[in-house]
Homo-oligomer: A and B are copies of this chain.
Amino acid sequence: MSSDSLLPPRVLAVASHVVSGNVGNKVAVFVLQSLGFDVAALNTVQFSNHTGYRQWTGTRATAQEITDLYNGLKQSYLDDFDMMLTGYIPGAEGVTAVGTIAKGLKEKFQNSPGKFFWVLDPVMGDNGKLYVAPEVVPAYKALLPYADLILPNQFEAEQLSDVKIVDMDSLTEAIQVLHDKFNIPHIIITSVSFTTPGHPPSHLTVIGSTMTSDRKARPFKIVFPSIDCYFCGTGDMFGALITSRIREAANAVPGLSSRASWLSDDDVAATDLPLARAAEKVLASMHQVLANTRDAMPEVMERTWALLRPEDRNDETKAHYVKSKAAELQLVTNLDSLRTPSISFSATKI
């Protein structure tokens, strides 16, 4: 880590690109740049808009194209990355190609512990359903031992751990399996669908853990009020923010950032982990951005309806497009929320 340098840290962000709206790299690149990263953006698709609209145009990059782009960076010495963040990748071959990039970077910096850190968001599905081909699951499993931090949602954690998650006990079991079996240092389960005991259903829970030297989980949870809207791109915003904040939190602990995977001493309690500090800050930013997005929705909807004919308001399909557009994350008007969130949520023990 070049924390003594005035130069921005370099991150490779691999995810989808949409022309209009905010998901994938369209979120990650801006958020990381706003937080001071020099971002190399490798776009795995270019679509007109996100697929939640139910219609879109555009093209996917093949695994070969992804590999070619990366080889292009390598040949000109542009592969000196401090971090890597990977999101949606189309198909198992693409996942494997991106994994090869990450493995290469791990190997390149193997003599500089802590220099390189990979944040892997294993985008596969949600709410009990895969939205990628079944062979993507084993492709991700094969890469897990190389990741420093993974960000599955509850369903993805089930797919990777083969533990059915129904409550907090089975969730912590799944985390323990992921630490044990794949040697993954840091894990955050970004959304859980069961109700957390002691909290009303209007709250959401994020669970995190950094393993000890003998791969024991140190789980913490952060509970925060949910905003009752369906947003896309929240996972991508989480990934970009945690990439920045985990680095900041590791840098705040003397010596930690030059230790492999920024693994805390065994006597650090779950709620004192840098990962907990990082996640707290991420959720504060996200809550503010989502609240502001919700507040802007009526104006965005009215502006869009003005482009249509009055009778279109009764057309459910068109209403879906108008609503999808209004639910796009408001990012550029929320720089302060991203950089210096003013609210806070606290990690607690499980």
Interface residue ranges, A against B (CB under 8 Å): 2, 5-8, 17, 19-21, 26, 29-30, 33-34, 36-43, 46-49, 53, 55-59, 61, 65, 68-73, 75-78, 80, 296, 299-300, 303-304, 307-308, 318, 321-322, 324-325, 330-333
Contacts and interface: CB of A to CB of B under 8 A. Distances in A.
B30 A33 contact: yes
Given A303-B7, A304-B80, A36 B75 contact: no
Contacts of A5: 299, 303
Given A55-B75, A77-B321, A307-B80, A40 B19 contact: yes
A36 B333 contact: yes
Query: How many of these chains are in the complex?
Result: 2
B325 A76 contact: yes
B55 A76 contact: yes
Contacts of A6: 296, 299, 333
Contacts of A53: 76
Identify which of A49, A78, A303 gathers the most chain B CB atoms within 10 Å of its CB.
Answer: A78
A332 B80 contact: no
A188 to B, nearest CB: 25
A304 B58 contact: no
A69 B49 CA distance: 9
A331 B38 CA distance: 8
